[in-house]
């Protein structure tokens, strides 16, 4: 089945070549980082985690969000998602791999990564994060592969797969919870030390993930004969809407607690993000842009007329995705370190080298995703030539209750 | 298909078993403590810093100089990548919770010598995913430079900014190499070790030895007769961010 990724038209190979160039260009930057150390990044003794760890955090969310198609389909027998579950799983696979790679590229001694397994430290959330991410990767690879190969043969997936699918649901929740625990358990960092961090991570993930999936569906409809169907898209839109509402709600909870209690140690981080601190405004325009996008997204999503218009829904999804990417992928990590333990504001902005290394990781993710999606659509092209019309006939469900 | 799966599961199972086996048979962090200190059963090492004496000698950096010299701490010349084991901070930076605008000038303008607090409940040890940083029985928080993967989780976890990361190869930035102490490679975290290598020779930490004002006192805080216990009994002392529950073992006399 995997060989399906190796045949394709010019357009497909052109895209693969483009992604390979991305990876190659980024790899040069990574070699430079390996040679010179993390001095090639914008990181410092005060802001010691930055863009890499932020991308990792954001992508764990994208990976976890596959559960938003898996759960309605397998637990609630929501048939419209029948063709989407594999898309969700195969979006999660490259996401988890990118998460792992972002951790590795952030390490000062990446060739010692096996030490995490050789000297397991049960007291460290990082150990548990590694366990939960690799376990999740194993689950979704097995599930995705088995479901798709059964679909290819036109049979129902094997019975033994069902427990894997059921376990993958809480497991998806766990990966983002443990990721939040990396931060929220640190007494040293008041900005992160909030019980609402894990729920907030999950809410933002379940908004950004389905939003991304909708955009991918739109794109795939243009590029292939695949059509998820109106029902599926609208249901995903509703999921993204609820999740975005909860996400914004939780952020506002945080703002209330911080500013009503008025504890300076907690307020300074928010001030740094939204009004600037000690004359440093690096992230201020970004955070307001993110907030504005969140408002736009909510207006578009909460108004049924807009949500049901595909162009508007597309805009809303872009707004959700970008808003949350800025919040988690730029603000969240840096603000935890600013101000520093000594009350100082040390400027951080990713360097070109850091950005190129990230391009490498994103490139690898895009490559894996392209290959996997190519396999899906090729397999479906064989088994199911007229995709859109036969929506309801297809029953590849694992028996569910 | 069935055979493939079985093969796959076999390999996956074997891999897991190998990892587990290594874990069980491998050394535990406690087993790789390189230094024995004395025979006293429950020794707890701590330091008292007399800020009154320290501020007599404004601009003195003897403790920093000797420490960084004997431990091959590089001078990177770039505030963002600085490696620091012991240094002076202003009072507000070191004690944000104990500072206020109308505080006595003497205290407000007192520099505080800061270093690793060798916490009783060390957050850095708690978060380290590889056991590269660990606590000795006498309380010293140690670093294994060969095991550290450079994830900097300990840097995020330390509430005192006591840990430094080698963003680049430190060796070209060491003025005068001390062959008695190892240098570090790029990509690992380091910090004050309470001069564990001197203690084993029966010497005091270098900063305590060199201080021209004799502002630093070092000893066993579990011994009621020790000098530091006597000082703490007679003078008002404060600690950095005690509210966090880390139980820091550097005491400051203001």
The ipTM assigned to this model is 0.89
When divided into structural domains, chain A yields a total of 1
Angle between helical axes of A51-64 and A352-383 (0-180°, round to 10): 20
CATH of the domain at A353: 1.20.1630.10
Closest partner residue to A188 among B96, B123, B185, by Cβ? B123
Q: Is B17 among the domain residues?
A: no
CATH of the domain at B63: 3.30.70.20
Band of residue A10 on the pLDDT scale cut at 50, 70, 90: confident
How high is the pLDDT of residue B110? 86
**Contact at CB, A341 and B128, closer than 8 angstroms:** no
How high is the pLDDT of residue B165? 97
Q: Is B221 among the domain residues?
A: yes
Percent of chain B with pLDDT over 90: 76
Domain that holds residue B219: 43-253
Q: Is B37 among the domain residues?
A: no
Q: Is B27 among the domain residues?
A: no
Q: Which residues of B touch A109 (CB under 8 A)?
A: 148-150, 185, 187-188
Report, as an integer, the average pLDDT of A226-234.
89
Assess A158–B contact: CB distance below 8 Å, yes or no: no
Q: Provide the token pair at A175.
A: 């990966």
How high is the pLDDT of residue A221? 86
Percent of chain B with pLDDT over 70: 84
B8 has pLDDT over 70: no
How high is the pLDDT of residue A269? 95
How high is the pLDDT of residue B4? 67
Band of residue B251 on the pLDDT scale cut at 50, 70, 90: very high
Residue A339 preceded by cis peptide, ω within 30: yes
Q: Which residues of A touch B151 (CB under 8 A)?
A: 103, 106-108, 126
> What's the predicted TM-score (pTM) here?
0.88
How high is the pLDDT of residue B39? 45
What's the gap in Å between the CA of A121 and the closest CA on chain B?
A: 5
Report, as an integer, the average pLDDT of A1-26.
89
A350 has pLDDT over 50: yes
Considering only A173-177, A227-231, A238-242, A292-296, which range has the smallest mean pLDDT? A227-231
Q: Which residues of B touch A337 (CB under 8 A)?
A: 156
Q: Which residues 35-74 in chain B show a CB within 8 A of chain A?
A: none
How high is the pLDDT of residue B15? 64
C-beta atoms surrounding A117 within 10 Å: 18
Q: Which residues 202-221 in chain A show a CB within 8 A of chain B?
A: none
B189 has pLDDT over 70: yes
B29 has pLDDT over 80: no
Tens digits of per-residue pLDDT, A100-155? 999 999 999 999 999 999 999 999 999 999 999 999 999 999 999 999 999 888 89
Assess B75–A contact: CB distance below 8 Å, yes or no: no
Q: Which residues 315-354 in chain A show a CB within 8 A of chain B?
A: 336-337, 340-344, 346
Which residues lie below 8 Å from residue A175, measured CB to CB, with a gap of 6+? A60, A63, A64, A96, A129, A132, A133, A136
* Mean pLDDT estimate for chain A: 91
A335 has pLDDT over 90: yes
What's the gap in Å between the CA of A128 and the closest CA on chain B?
A: 9
Residue A219, classed as helix, strand or coil, is: helix
When divided into structural domains, chain B yields a total of 1
**Contact at CB, B129 and A130, closer than 8 angstroms:** yes
CA distances from B44 to A239, A300, B33, B38 (A): 56, 62, 16, 11
Domain that holds residue A103: 2-383
**Contact at CB, A39 and B168, closer than 8 angstroms:** yes
Assess B100–A contact: CB distance below 8 Å, yes or no: no
Assess B131–A contact: CB distance below 8 Å, yes or no: yes
B24 has pLDDT over 60: no
Residue A188, classed as helix, strand or coil, is: coil
Report, as an integer, the average pLDDT of A325-352.
94
A330 has pLDDT over 50: yes
Q: Which residues 2-41 in chain B show a CB within 8 A of chain A?
A: 12, 19, 22-23, 26, 29
How far is B158 from B116, CA to CA, in rounded Å?
9
A342 has pLDDT over 80: yes
Q: Is A381 exposed, middle or buried (0-12, 13-18, 19+ CB in 10 A)?
A: middle
**Contact at CB, A188 and B149, closer than 8 angstroms:** no
**Contact at CB, B149 and A107, closer than 8 angstroms:** yes
φ, ψ (nearest 5 deg) of residue B42 = -115, 90
Band of residue A2 on the pLDDT scale cut at 50, 70, 90: confident
Q: Is B14 among the domain residues?
A: no
A387 has pLDDT over 60: no
How far is A171 from A142, CA to CA, in rounded Å?
14
Q: Is A393 among the domain residues?
A: no
Q: Which residues of A touch B31 (CB under 8 A)?
A: none
Closest partner residue to B129 among A124, A183, A265, by Cβ? A124
Band of residue A7 on the pLDDT scale cut at 50, 70, 90: confident
Report, as an integer, the average pLDDT of A231-254.
96
**Contact at CB, B152 and A119, closer than 8 angstroms:** no
Q: Is A240 among the domain residues?
A: yes
How far is A81 from A148, CA to CA, in rounded Å?
14
Assess A127–B contact: CB distance below 8 Å, yes or no: yes
How high is the pLDDT of residue B35? 36
CA distances from A182 to A289, B111, B165, B226 (A): 27, 33, 19, 40
Band of residue A1 on the pLDDT scale cut at 50, 70, 90: confident
């Amino acid at each position: 089945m995997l060989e399906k990724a190796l045949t394709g038209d010019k357009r497909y190979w052109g895209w693969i070549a483009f992604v390979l160039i991305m990876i190659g260009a980024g790899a040069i930057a990574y070699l430079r980082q390996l040679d010179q150390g993390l001095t090639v990044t914008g990181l410092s003794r005060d802001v010691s985690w930055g863009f890499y760890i932020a991308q990792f955090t954001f992508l764990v969310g994208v990976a976890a969000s596959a559960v938003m198609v898996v759960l309605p389909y397998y637990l609630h027998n929501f048939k419209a998602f029948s063709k989407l579950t594999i898309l969700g799983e195969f979006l999660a696979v490259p996401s988890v791999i990118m998460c792992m790679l972002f951790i590795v590229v952030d390490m000062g001694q990446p060739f010692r990564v096996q030490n995490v397994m050789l000297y397991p430290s049960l007291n460290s959330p990082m150990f548990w994060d590694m366990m939960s991410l690799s376990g999740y990767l194993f689950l979704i690879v097995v599930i995705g592969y088995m479901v798709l190969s059964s679909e290819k043969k036109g049979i129902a997936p094997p019975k033994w797969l069902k427990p894997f699918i059921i376990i993958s649901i809480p497991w998806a929740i766990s990966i983002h919870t443990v990721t939040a625990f990396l931060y929220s358990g640190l007494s040293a960092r008041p900005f992160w030390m909030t019980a609402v961090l894990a729920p907030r991570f999950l809410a933002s993930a379940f908004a950004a993930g389905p939003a991304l999936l909708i955009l991918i569906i739109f794109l795939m409809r243009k590029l292939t004969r695949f059509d998820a169907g109106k029902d599926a898209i609208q249901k995903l839109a509703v999921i993204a809407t609820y999740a975005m509402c909860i996400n914004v709600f939780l952020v506002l909870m945080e703002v209330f607690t911080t500013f009503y209690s008025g504890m300076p140690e907690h307020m300074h981080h928010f001030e740094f993000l939204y009004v600037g601190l000690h004359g440093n405004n690096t992230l201020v325009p970004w955070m307001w842009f993110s907030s504005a996008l969140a408002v736009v997204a909510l207006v578009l999503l909460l108004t049924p007329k807009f949500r049901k218009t595909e162009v508007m829904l597309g805009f809303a999804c872009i707004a959700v995705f970008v808003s949350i990417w800025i919040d988690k992928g730029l603000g969240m990590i840096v603000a935890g370190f600013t101000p520093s333990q000594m009350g100082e504001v040390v400027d951080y902005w990713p360097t070109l080298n850091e950005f190129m290394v990230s391009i490498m990781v994103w490139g690898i993710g895009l490559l894996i995703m392209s290959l996997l999606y190519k396999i899906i659509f090729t397999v479906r092209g064989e088994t199911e030539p007229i995709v859109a019309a036969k929506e309801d006939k297809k029953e590849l469900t694992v028996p569910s209750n | 298909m069935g055979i493939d799966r079985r093969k796959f599961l076999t390999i996956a199972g074997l891999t897991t078993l190998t990892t587990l086996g290594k874990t069980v048979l491998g050394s535990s962090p406690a087993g790789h403590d390189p230094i024995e200190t004395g025979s006293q059963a429950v020794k707890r090492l701590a330091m008292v810093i007399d800020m009154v004496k320290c501020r007599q000698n404004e601009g003195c950096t003897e403790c920093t100089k000797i420490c960084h010299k004997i431990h091959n701490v590089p001078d990177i010349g770039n505030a963002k990548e600085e490696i620091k084991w012991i240094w002076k901070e202003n009072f507000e930076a070191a004690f944000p919770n104990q500072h206020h605008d109308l505080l006595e000038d003497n205290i407000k303008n007192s520099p505080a010598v800061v270093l690793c607090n060798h916490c009783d409940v060390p957050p850095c040890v708690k978060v380290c995913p590889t056991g590269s940083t660990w606590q000795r029985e006498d309380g010293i928080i140690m670093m294994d430079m060969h095991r550290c993967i450079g994830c900097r989780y300990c840097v995020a976890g330390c509430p005192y900014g006591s840990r430094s990361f080698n963003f680049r190869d430190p060796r070209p930035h060491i003025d005068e190499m001390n062959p008695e102490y190892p240098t570090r490679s790029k990509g690992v975290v380091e910090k004050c070790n309470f001069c564990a290598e001197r203690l084993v020779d029966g010497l005091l930490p270098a900063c305590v030895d060199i201080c021209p004002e004799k502002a630093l006192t070092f000893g066993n805080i579990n011994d009621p007769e020790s000098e530091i216990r006597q000082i703490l009994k007679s003078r008002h002392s404060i600690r950095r961010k005690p509210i966090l529950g880390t139980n820091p073992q550097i005491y400051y006399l203001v």
